[in-house]
């Protein structure tokens, strides 16, 4: 027997409230306002509290509302706070009309019955890159449209590489990268810094190496997964990476690189502005996979979604708001503001035409994948935590890579 929507949503939202812990976005991180607003007022919640009413982002929301003939009441929340508030608002029947949420959380909200599908909302996702759209899919249905994406690549210090006689163009796979690190160390400089902290940030940074080995998150202790963790472990043993990676966030890792002694830093698009402030010549290359080519790095970035409303007559305007926010012209402006790569090929080409520095990031995004892709959905947090426990154990020397991942697989299977 099928339960009425309101009852099903209340039950599944209550269950979903237990699944949000540990999902930390890789990108940037209010008063309450739900869909009990007047008919001419539509609520939009987003994870950009850093933008005030004078920002291009809020001006865009206002313009989209005006075009749709309504007033947009926008509230910006911290990412984690937004997820919890969205779940509670749905339970109370007070959801916003438009919810812009970090991509790994989409499956949690979808499983909780909080979100409508793009089919229900008549959202055209045909131009969106399939690998980016996958982060918002669960059980064959799509629950929003990406506003853009960020991901990871390798920044390098040209002066350090020149001193070590390393051409960054020769770094094509794990072997050539490790060989470059050996030359850098021999030249008296530091090799590579990254974040291996025991949080989602650490998992986010390990995934390009893990996926780049050919490993799958459903079998953490595969030979490929062990090879990826062995790569990291060997770098520490040989002094190519510092022990500080165990506690590094992506911010502190960047600070190490910005000091000028490291050859490489694994970091994201969001550091582009900071890279120009370092005072040294830098470049960017994709993270290589084990056998060569660009490794799949995880995507950060948000989806524009439409929460379920008891008054379905509101959907007509919601559709217009989402169409406005995801249009090519507006996506270009928004992605520039957020330091994101666009979700469609046409806008990506426009970004590269305007800024050649984005070429490597477009390449990285094309190879990237969502953490909840492969239909993992809400299983991902239950996998990620044992994974970060594994690389913490291996890097600290308390377990071998094989044992660490075997234990992680056992924990994830439970």
- Report CA-CA distances (Å) from 366 to 13, 130, 193, 299: 33, 9, 24, 10
Output the domain CATH number for residue 176: 3.40.190.10
> From CA 270, how far away is CA 151, in angstroms rounded?
9
Could you give the strand order of the β-sheet that contains 71-76, starting from the edge strand earlier in sequence?
Answer: 71-76, 41-46, 98-102, 302-305, 145-146
Q: What is the pLDDT of residue 118?
A: 98
Do 228 and 169 lie in one domain? The reply is yes
Do 212 and 277 lie in one domain? The reply is yes
Which of 85, 38, 125 lies closest to 304, judged by CA? 125
Do 210 and 160 lie in one domain? The reply is yes
Q: What is the pLDDT of residue 154?
A: 98
Do 343 and 406 lie in one domain? The reply is no
- Report CA-CA distances (Å) from 166 to 12, 159, 171, 182, 260: 54, 10, 9, 10, 16
Give the chain's domain count.
2
Which structural domain, as residue segments, surrounds residue 67? Answer: 5-149+300-367
Do 47 and 173 lie in one domain? The reply is no
> From CA 296, how far away is CA 206, in angstroms rounded?
11
> From CA 222, how far away is CA 210, in angstroms rounded?
10
Do 160 and 115 lie in one domain? The reply is no
Do 13 and 144 lie in one domain? The reply is yes
Do 186 and 94 lie in one domain? The reply is no
Q: What is the pLDDT of residues 99-146, one digit of tens each?
A: 999 999 999 999 999 999 999 999 999 999 999 999 999 999 999 999
Do 49 and 118 lie in one domain? The reply is yes
Q: Can you give the pTM of this predicted structure?
A: 0.87
Please tell me what DSSP assigns to residue 340: -
Q: pLDDT below 50 — which residues of the chain?
A: 1-38
Q: What is the pLDDT of residues 138-156, one digit of tens each?
A: 999 999 999 999 999 999 9
Do 232 and 349 lie in one domain? The reply is no
Backbone angles phi, psi at 343, to 5 degrees: -90, -5
DSSP per-residue string spanning 173-220: SHHHHHHHHHHHHHTTSEEEE----SSHHHHHHHHHHHHHTT--TT-T
Q: What is the pLDDT of residue 2?
A: 31
Do 136 and 75 lie in one domain? The reply is yes
Q: For the chain, what percentages of helix, strand and coil (3-state, to nearest 5) are there? A: 50, 15, 35
Do 283 and 305 lie in one domain? The reply is no
Beta pairing, strands 145-146 & 152-157: unpaired
CB 196 within 8 A of CB 248: yes
């Amino acid at each position: 027997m099928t339960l009425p929507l309101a009852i099903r949503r209340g039950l599944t939202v209550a269950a979903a409230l237990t699944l949000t812990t540990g999902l930390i976005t890789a990108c940037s991180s209010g008063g309450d306002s739900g869909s009990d607003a007047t008919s001419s007022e539509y609520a939009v919640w987003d994870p950009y509290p850093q933008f005030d009413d004078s920002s291009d982002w809020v001006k865009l929301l206002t313009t989209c509302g005006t075009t749709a003939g309504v007033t947009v009441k926008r509230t910006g929340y911290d990412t984690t706070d937004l997820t919890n508030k969205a779940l509670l608002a749905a339970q109370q029947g007070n959801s916003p009309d438009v919810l812009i949420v970090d991509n790994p959380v989409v499956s949690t909200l979808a499983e909780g019955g909080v979100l409508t599908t793009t089919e229900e909302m008549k959202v055209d996702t045909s131009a969106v890159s399939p690998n980016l759209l996958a982060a918002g899919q669960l059980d064959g249905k799509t629950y929003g449209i990406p506003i853009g994406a960020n991901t990871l690549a390798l920044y390098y210090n040209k002066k350090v590489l020149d001193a070590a006689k390393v051409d960054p163009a020769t770094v094509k796979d794990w072997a050539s990268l490790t060989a470059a690190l050996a030359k850098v160390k021999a030249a008296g400089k530091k090799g590579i810094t990254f974040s291996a902290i025991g949080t989602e940030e650490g998992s986010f940074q390990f995934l390009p190496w893990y996926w780049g080995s050919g490993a799958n998150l459903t079998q953490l202790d595969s030979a490929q997964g062990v090879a990826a963790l062995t790569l990291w472990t060997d770098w520490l043993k040989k002094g190519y990476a510092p022990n500080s990676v165990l506690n590094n966030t992506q911010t502190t890792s960047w600070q190490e690189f910005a000091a000028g002694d490291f050859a490489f830093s694994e970091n994201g698009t969001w550091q582009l502005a900071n890279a120009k402030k370092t005072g040294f010549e830098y470049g960017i290359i994709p993270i290589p996979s084990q056998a060569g080519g660009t490794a799949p790095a995880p995507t950060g970035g948000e989806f524009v979604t439409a929460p379920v409303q008891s008054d379905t007559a509101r959907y007509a305007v919601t559709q217009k708001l989402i169409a406005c926010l995801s249009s090519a012209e507006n996506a270009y402006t928004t992605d520039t503001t957020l330091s994101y790569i666009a979700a469609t090929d046409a806008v990506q080409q426009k970004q590269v035409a305007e800024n050649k520095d984005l070429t490597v990031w477009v390449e990285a995004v094309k190879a990237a994948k969502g953490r909840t892709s492969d239909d993992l959905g809400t299983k991902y947090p239950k996998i990620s935590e044992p994974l970060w426990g594994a690389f913490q154990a291996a890097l600290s020397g308390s377990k071998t890579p094989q044992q660490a991942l075997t234990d992680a697989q056992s924990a994830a299977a439970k």
